[in-house]
Structure 1
Amino acid sequence: RSMRYFTPSPFMFYISHPEFAITGASPEKLVSVRGRELETIPLAGTRPKGKTPAENAALAEELLNDPKEIAEHMMLVDLGRNDLGMVSKPGTVKVTKLKEVQFFSHVMHIASFIQGELREELDALDALKATLPAGTLSGAPKIRAMEIIDELEPVRRGPYGGAICFLDHLGNLGSCIGIRMALIKNGKAVVQTGMGIVMDSDPEKELEESVHKARGVLTAIQAAEEGVL
């Protein structure tokens, strides 16, 4: 309830296990399958939300004119096209919307919409396999980026950055990336965030972005502890 109130997002989830729980408010679709139609929506390029509509408009314009953010976004659009291309009929992968700013509870992101048509001999789980891990959580080229992550990150990510999914009896799939989430175990909540690192990244700005991304979940946890809702 606290997550819904303080950080509403397109994908809200709660998973209960005897040893832990996961709750989150992810803004980012990984892949969806409806019939034979595939869609993925990479989010890359971030700014904190402003306090007024005018401030939001100015920040969104600045975001769309930032060469570093646009280069990162286009790299991940290309990676998303490649992921869908592995399971789509030839010639069906297309970008239906490019570089659209979307606003969420605490931040704004650049989003692009990529669609394809699933090959007849494949199913939704093949599409899920083709898109995991998400390019926005790994990088490009994906295999080498994953190797670098494994070499450099001192702690394994666990469920963070994975997929939260549902699959229905007709073979339709809905999935989001496991971000803006908390892993709750032994009375403690662990919140993980990340940012895209490219050649001209500014470490201070990347850290600031990470803090902004965590703020909604941390606020929700604090409110739940204090019994605000």
Structure 2
Amino acid sequence: QEDSKQAEKLANSAKDRAENLMIVDLMRNDIGRVAVAGSVKVPELFVVEPFPAVHHLVSTITARLPEQLHASDLLRAAFPGGSITGAPKVRAMEIIDELEPQRRNAWCGSIGYLSFCGNMDTSITIRTLTAINGQIYCSAGGGIVADSQEEAEYQETFDKVNKILRQLEK
């Protein structure tokens, strides 16, 4: 019951929908730079995907690559993902570089595979544990849009990290 309420709350959240739509627009633009003209489509918009500890608002973007291109060209065009950078993408990345005291490293990077036959599956590492010199670091963040509330975004980051840390305690 509580799980269904959380899914419904996410599906109807104006803030989360605005953030998702911004990401979809960025990705359509990035993918469109390398895709066959007119092939970029959004067959699914604002679908709630349930996972054991969280729900995600997901949209699907499809496109066809020209025969002379490889999946790596698509990755190059779309990286870093809009959910990490924000918009406008280039200026947002400049601001991130100015404000953040250290590099993100694996956090907000991408993990996945590219096969010789052209298949690719990647994921942005948005909630991440990294081990460096015997220390474990836990990283998470939140998306900021025009109607974001500072305190709520700050709390959301702690909520995300706490879900990861609770799993380590088991």
TM-score between both structures, scaled by the size of structure 2 = 0.92
Match of 1:81 in 2: 28
Tell me by how many angstroms 1:184 deviates.
0.5
Residue by residue, what CA displacement relative to the aligned partner does 1:34-87 show, whole Å, maximum 9, x if unpaired?
Answer: xxxxxxxxxxxxxxxxxxxx2222232222322222212111111111121111
- SS of 1:157's equivalent? coil
Bigger share in strand: 1
1:214 Cα offset (Å)? 1.9
Shift of 1:105: 2.2
Structure-1-length-normalised TM-score? 0.70
Partner of 1:201: 148
2:79 corresponds in structure 1 to 132
Q: 2:7 is aligned with what amino acid? A: A
Secondary structure of the residue aligned to 1:97 is strand
Match status 1:165 vs 2:112: yes
| Percent of aligned pairs with the same amino acid | 44
Aligned residues: 170
| One-letter amino acid of the counterpart of residue 139, structure 2 | Q
Return the offset for 1:120. 1.7
- Confirm or deny: 8 A CA contact 1:100 1:112 kept in the other structure: yes
CA distance in 1, matches of 2:5, 2:103: 38
Distance 1:216 1:68, change over 3 A: closer
Find out whether 1:106 has 2:44 as its counterpart: no
Report the secondary structure of 1:117's partner residue: coil
User: 1:78-114: CA deviations, max 9, x gaps?
Assistant: 1111121111101111011111111122221211011
Report the counterpart of residue 51 of structure 1 in structure 2.
none
Please say if residues 108 and 124 of structure 2, whose CA atoms lie closer than 8 Å, have aligned partners that are also in contact.
yes
Deviation at 1:119, TM superposition (A): 1.4
**For residue 142 of structure 1, what is the aligned residue in structure 2?**
89
* Residue 174, structure 1, aligned to residue 121, structure 2: yes
Secondary structure of the 2:63 match is strand
SS in 2 for 1:205: helix
SS at match of 2:10: helix
CA distance in 1 between counterparts of 2:94 and 2:158 reads 26
How far apart, in 2, do the equivalents of 1:219 and 1:60 lie?
Answer: 21
Q: Residue 189 of structure 1 corresponds to which residue in structure 2?
A: 136
CA distance in 2, matches of 1:165, 1:57: 30
Tell me, yes or no, if structure 1 residue 71 matches structure 2 residue 18: yes
Q: Does the C-alpha gap of structure 1 residues 74 and 132 become closer, same or farther in structure 2, counting only changes over 3 Å? A: same
Structure 2 residue aligned with 1:217: 164
Letter of the 1:62 counterpart: K
* Preserved contact between residue 138 and residue 146 of structure 1 (Cα < 8 Å): yes
Answer 1 or 2: higher relative contact order, Cα 8 Å, separation at least 6.
1
* Counterpart AA for 1:221: L
Q: Which runs of 5+ in 1 are unaligned?
A: 1-53, 224-229
User: 1:191 offset after TM fit, Å?
Assistant: 0.8
- Tell me whether 84-93 or 57-66 shows the greater mean CA deviation: 57-66
Q: Is the Cα contact below 8 Å between 1:106 and 1:215 reproduced in 2?
A: no
Please give the alpha-carbon distance, in whole angstroms, between the structure 1 residues aligned to 2:45 and 2:155.
26
